[in-house]
Amino acid sequence: MHFLRFLALTALSVTAVAARKASTDKFDTYFAKQASSAPFELDEKGYNELTTAPRDYSLAVLLTALDARYACGICREFDPEWKILGRSWQKGDKTGENRMLLSTLDFDQGRNIFMKLQLQTAPVLLYFPPTVGPNAKADGSPVRFDFLGPQSAEGTRNWLLRQLPAGNYPELSRPINYGKIAVTLTILLGAFTFLTVAYPYILPVIQNRNLWAGISLILIMLFTSGHMFNHIRRVPYVANNGRGGISYFAGGFQNQFGMETQIVAAMYALLAFAAINLALRVPRIKDARTQQVAVIIWATVLFGMYSFLMSVFRIKNGGYPFWLPPF
């Protein structure tokens, strides 16, 4: 009886050692592939071999469809990010201390695997935890990461670290983008050259006080007329007045129409233009009669527009007691 028990224990020990050795051999074989090309490409045979228990290693498999026939934009966008993660991982773990493999299974090389997993979309990232060893998990089923949108190498690495046991893992190292650097330097040099050549012509324009005065007046009229109010409240442009017509002005200080803002801005602009002409242009007129006519014209415009502005204000506030003819 004791002899039979001894034989059974011996057989179990031999089986366990053989399984552990087979798992180690699998890791060494595919880690050599990862050392030359990370992440390495898989086919159906390699996928089945790596995912079969026992596993004393961790495995991440990206199931993707890169061929243009499948029109998988996210697959093609994520492929360079996945390669950056694979190269960074291999560069930081050249001895395989972390017992981690990163691989790719394309649809053209693994149709049966896609059908077996009942995958309807791609890409999908699967993480297989070890089934034997110090970090083994009782449930060796894979953890799935679905791509709801474009993903980065940094985000994928963070997701993998949440699945792996605590430890020191390779940092992500992005390659230097020499093309982007060259484009940036070219743009900067072009802008510097343009400014150097155009500086004598641009400087007088920048230093022109009338230009800045005009820009300031436009901004003042734009914001005092309620332009920001329209963007914040998303007000309608006009409204029905209930009698088959159109209302251009909304009653009350908390209501406003888009057309109302434009009309008020035009009134402000005309009032400002009349005041500027009366203050600056008219005094410079040499002929006394022409000057008198200009004063009458601009004073009439100023009086009429201010009268119209007050009538608009009475629409906004029905209790306002002041008014000016002709409105």
Take residue 213 and report the two structure tokens written for it. Answer: 């005065």
Contacts of the segment 318-325: beta carbons below 8 A, 24+ positions apart: 318/251
The answer to whether residues 56 and 137 touch, using CB atoms and an 8 Å cutoff, is no
Write the CB contacts of 85 (distance below 8 Å, at least 6 apart in sequence): 39, 102, 153, 156, 157, 172
Residue 17 pLDDT class (50, 70, 90 cuts): very low
Take residue 240 and report the two structure tokens written for it. Answer: 């029905």
Percent of residues, the chain, with pLDDT higher than 70 = 93
- The model's pLDDT over 45-100, given as tens digits with 9 standing for 90+, comes to 999 999 988 888 999 999 999 998 888 989 999 999 999 999 999 998 888 888 99
CATH number of 2-163: 3.40.30.10
Please return the burial class of 269, using the count of CB atoms within 10 Å of its CB with bins 0-12, 13-18 and 19+: middle
Q: What count of other Cβ atoms lies within 10 Å of the Cβ of residue 226?
A: 20
Mean pLDDT of the 28-55 span: 89
Write the CB contacts of 76 (distance below 8 Å, at least 6 apart in sequence): 66
The CA distances from residue 23 to 70, 113, 255, 275, in Å, are 35, 21, 74, 90
Residue among 290, 301, 326, 289 at smallest CA distance from 311: 326
**Distance in angstroms (rounded) separating the CA atoms of residues 98 and 121:** 30
Q: Is 279 helix (H, G, I), strand (E, B) or coil?
A: helix
Which residues face 62 on adjacent strands? Answer: 104, 125
Take residue 37 and report the two structure tokens written for it. Answer: 């090309």
- The model's pLDDT over 103-135, given as tens digits with 9 standing for 90+, comes to 999 999 999 999 999 888 889 999 999 988 888
Mean pLDDT of the 192-200 span: 90
Q: What is the pLDDT of residue 6?
A: 41
Residue 23 pLDDT class (50, 70, 90 cuts): low
Which helix (H) or strand (E) covers residue 116, if one does? helix 111-116
pTM of the model: 0.55
Domain borders along the chain are: 2-163, 208-316
User: Strand 40-42 relative to strand 246-247: parallel, antiparallel, unpaired?
Assistant: unpaired
Q: What is the pLDDT of residue 8?
A: 42
**Distance in angstroms (rounded) separating the CA atoms of residues 214 and 74:** 49
Q: What is the pLDDT of residue 21?
A: 52
**Distance in angstroms (rounded) separating the CA atoms of residues 325 and 327:** 5
